[in-house]
Amino acid sequence: MPADSMTNQRQAIPERVSFLGAALASLERILPSLTEPPSGAQCINYLEPAGDPGIFGPASVTWRVLSNPASVFMGGVAAVLLELAEPRVRSGVWDQTNFRKDPVGRMRRTGLAAMVFTYGCTRDAEAATARVRRLHDRVKGMTPEGQPYQANDPELLTWVYVTAGYAFLNAYLRYVNPRLSGAEQDRYYAESFSARNYYGLNWAPGSVAEVEKYLKQMRPRLRHHKILEEFLFLVSNAPVVSAAVLPIQRLLIQAGIDLLPSWTRQLLKLEKGQPLRVATRPLARTVVILAGQVVRDGPPQQAYRRMGLSSFSLDNTCAM
């Protein structure tokens, strides 16, 4: 990168820090709403029935990895970018859902589904996944290149499921707990493997090594498309929480891009701006720390109480 370009980016950082200061103050007041269901969605009681561990349970690594709403948001952005790189998934999402008309509602519903599957009681988690599969039954068509697709195709479901798990874990490792051991990371994927049947998957990788091998196998199938830029524009300009914290939202979106492997950013033409993303990682860490401190009664904390446990074991701090 030319020296003058690097200088301009460095000069932009203090301005961004100052601008984000006011947004952080607003975020502290508004952030708890991240864990609330979107308008019109069924309210989930994560506190009942007492003693029901749900799909994963409090001893799982999965409960830890999805415990911070800010890191989950980052991971969600990275996951969607990977999903949209697969042409059949891209056509199904973009042509047959309301993402373009209601990006905020779509993101909130997707987040709610992740929370219910992870922290909900067994009954609610099973009902939520069954509802998703019924909706997917209606999603079928043809890509512009002539590839047929069906949303409940186990092959496509595997890609969506694995990319979500991969992105959530990498956000957690970078911003919440970089000390998670290799064995614990393998256990996280093994938990996902055991839960695959709820979404109708025939197979899912069960370790870090298997996930890396799977991503390598999928690499030749991935394609850049202008829809990725449209997705990023929509999520960068539609307030998920409040217009007052759009700067924070955009920071987390860029942090999500930063989570992608370098080969993926190059393939998807997202490498531009990477030095600035790296430079602003401390700001993203600040948001994650704040999220862990402010959100004290979200789905993770309520699920722990459902099990008669304190949520003290949740990772709410981040190593700087």
The structural domains of the chain, with segments of one domain joined by +, span 25-37+47-313
Name the residue among 288, 218, 229 with its Cα closest to residue 24.
288
Q: What is the model's pTM?
A: 0.88
pLDDT at 33: 60
| Burial track 110-146 (b if 16+ CB lie within 10 A, e otherwise) | bbbbbbbbbbbbeebbbebbeebeeebeebeeebeee
252: nearest Cα among 287, 289, 295: 287
> Which pLDDT tens digit goes with each residue over 37-58?
666 667 889 999 999 999 999 9
pLDDT at 318: 44
Tell me: the pLDDT tens digits for 58-91?
Answer: 999 999 999 999 999 999 999 999 999 999 999 9
Return all residues near 156 (Cβ < 8 A) that are at least 6 apart.
86, 88, 89, 92, 149, 150
pLDDT tens, residue by residue, 7-37: 444 444 444 445 555 555 665 555 556 666 6
Please tell me the distance from the alpha carbon of residue 200 to that of residue 166, in angstroms, as a whole number.
19
